[in-house]
Amino acid sequence: MLASLLCVAVAAPPPPNTRILFENFVAKYKRHYATEFEKDKRFQIFSENIDVIYASNTKNLSYTLGVTANTDRTFEEWRAKYLTASDKPALSDEQNGRPLFEAPKEFTEPESVDWVAKGGVTSVKSQGSCGSCWTFATAGALEGAMFVSGRPIVDLSMQHLLACDRPSDFGCSGGIRSQAIEWVVENGITALKDEPYLCEDDNAIGCRQMTCSGSQPLVLAVGDVVKNTDVAQTELALEAAVAQQPVSVGIEAAPVFMHYTGGVLVGAACGSSLDHAVLAVGYGVDNGIKYWKLKNSWGEDFGENGYIRIEKGSAASLGQCGIRKRASFATVKEAASVVV
């Protein structure tokens, strides 16, 4: 379906048949519009987005765009569905007494790091319509910390954070990742299998009526998370941090994220007003372009099987999309030796 939208090096592709693309889109994503008027409205929005996608792909950029689940939405609708102030403005840029990680003097940047390939990252998941990206990024950082400490990696419960980390964080209205780690330091966290995620639809009864039961066993108990560290806002510091483990980061999601299907995103129209939380799981070089590899929480259909790569070493003061503005990671106590 997307073949006609991908750039061709020899010549620009012919304009897509938008009506066919739209009908294929409706079937694939099981869209059910209430009225013909609404369907016509969605087709017009879809057509405008197709024009944007087509125009971008004819430029032979380092990334591609295509039809996604968002192609019948305006940017404003998409932003309202997926993005929140992932690090609330009430939180200052100060570290509030937490340790600040700087690159060790002996650190030399590896050419590539990939915690997914190493087995330190769990499967991609979907936050759905709930603004809970902060819980996914926090759980991912803790899972990575478990892995590097020598513990078995376990999918941790985003739902536990969503329901229990109150009133410090704000449920489906956003939260503060470093503050969520502090909460786990003091309270522990359960496994996803014991407390499944209930808020892929934030209007579902289970989500709206969720409570913190406190009855499930803790995977990370009180005292297991021994440190919560912020990363200095330099390229070298973030490189060194990600080289040692997956790191929770905040970004400002650019409009192009709506349609991203692959490649390294360079020159995105984004600043550093953080509105989304993701997990930095590695970095590398692709055709001479350095990139950060980020695990997202919009399901495996997004981007590169749920991941996105954005430019590393951007001239922007805080990196591409503000990635260096507020990064943090946890340190987990090594598992006790098992005596057989």
CA dihedral 38, 43, 49, 55 (to 10 degrees): -160
The 8-class DSSP code of residue 11 comes to S
Torsion sign across C-alpha atoms 151, 152, 153, 158: negative
With contact defined as beta carbons under 8 Å apart, do 39 and 22 qualify?
no
Look up residue 285 and give its amino acid: V
From 241, 316, 314, 313, select the one nearest 279 (Cα to Cα): 241
End-to-end CA separation in angstroms for the chain: 56
From 219, 222, 150, select the one nearest 183 (Cα to Cα): 222
Q: Hey, what are 225's tokens?
A: 């998370």
296 in active site: yes
160 in active site: no
Of the candidates 70, 164, 259, 276, the residue annotated as catalytic is 276
Q: Could you give the CA distance from residue 144 to residue 142 in angstroms, rounded to a whole number?
A: 5
Q: Could you give the CA distance from residue 81 to residue 158 in angstroms, rounded to a whole number?
A: 18
Of the candidates 130, 160, 296, 321, the residue annotated as catalytic is 296
Q: Hey, what are 234's tokens?
A: 């330099």
Report the length, in residues, of the chain.
Answer: 340
Of the candidates 130, 133, 199, 270, the residue annotated as catalytic is 133
Active-site residues, by number, are: 133, 276, 296
